[in-house]
Amino acid sequence: MFGKSHHSDKSQSESFSSDHSTDRPSEIIMIVAASDNNVIGKDNNLIWKLKSDLKRFKSLTSGHVIIMGRKTFESFPKPLPNRTHIVISRQHDYPVPEGVVLANTLEQALYEAKDYKKIFIIGGGEIYQQALPFCDTIELTRVHTQCDGDTYFPQLKTEDWRLSKKESHPADTENEFNYSFLTYLKS
Ligand SMILES: NC(=O)c1ccc[n+]([C@@H]2O[C@H](COP(=O)([O-])OP(=O)(O)OC[C@H]3O[C@@H](n4cnc5c(N)ncnc54)[C@H](OP(=O)(O)O)[C@@H]3O)[C@@H](O)[C@H]2O)c1
């Protein structure tokens, strides 16, 4: 499916740590859409049709770097335009298209992204779980439904995250459920 891999020659994580406040100016932002029961996906796909969420995702992430797990990357028909992609896989020879960066650890992915002002963590479940301690901000679209799935967003601890912004919207012809855009900042 893909061409030549752009594999980083930085062999290790270069000591990127979750306590990054003093050594680097980047903001690390997790962006996710989750149901009221924290479901984010099923059969390596999204579950709902929410056009406003896709528009928001595009507007927030365009021009920036996006970090994702290998399975999320494979859920796209092709790389998204106008964004630098970093794909995390333990497979050293995982083939990625020209321009897409392969990282073998989360820490290596963050190191590769360090020169960007905004770094977006875009999923999926495994990567959200591991990346949470590194993030400054979470842009969560809460989809107001209970649904079945096979992939979950981690339960946020109220002592770790402070809700700073909330914008609620009703379902309409382009958005099949009520939804809220929530911005959380690390406490
Ligand atoms: N609702 C949303 O906002 C949203 C956003 C994104 C994705 N999703 C959904 O989430 C689902 C995919 O999530 P997922 O949890 O199954 O997979 P994922 O997090 O996208 O990718 C998992 C893969 O990432 C690699 N990986 C994970 N941790 C690693 C580590 N520490 N070091 C190196 N590689 C690592 C492994 O790849 P290898 O197996 O190649 O080693 C692993 O199989 C899909 O249903 C997708 O639609 C939903």
Domain membership of residue 5 (yes or no) is no
pTM: 0.91
How many helices (H) and strands (E) would you count in the chain? 4, 11
Domain count along the chain:
1
Ligand 1, CB within 6 Å, residue ranges: 32-33, 40-41, 44-46, 68-72, 75, 88-91, 94, 104-106, 122-127, 130, 151
Domain membership of residue 9 (yes or no) is no
Residue span of the structural domain in which 180 resides: 26-186
Domain membership of residue 3 (yes or no) is no
Partners of 39 in the β-ladder: 152
List the CATH number of the domain containing 119.
3.40.430.10
**Sequence-distant (≥ 6) Cβ neighbours of residue 133 within 8 angstroms:** 18
Q: pLDDT for 15-37, tens place per residue?
A: 455 555 445 589 999 999 999 99
Is the preceding peptide bond at 124 cis, omega within 30 degrees of 0?
Answer: yes
Ligand 1 atom 48, closest CA: 40
Hey, which of 127, 129, 145, 150 would you mutate to test ligand 1's pocket, going by the most ligand atoms within 8 Å of its Cβ? 127
The mean pLDDT value for 71-100 works out to 97
- Distance, in Å, from the CA atom of 68 to the CA atom of 163, rounded to the nearest integer, reads 24
Domain membership of residue 66 (yes or no) is yes
**What percentage of the chain has pLDDT greater than the value 90?**
87
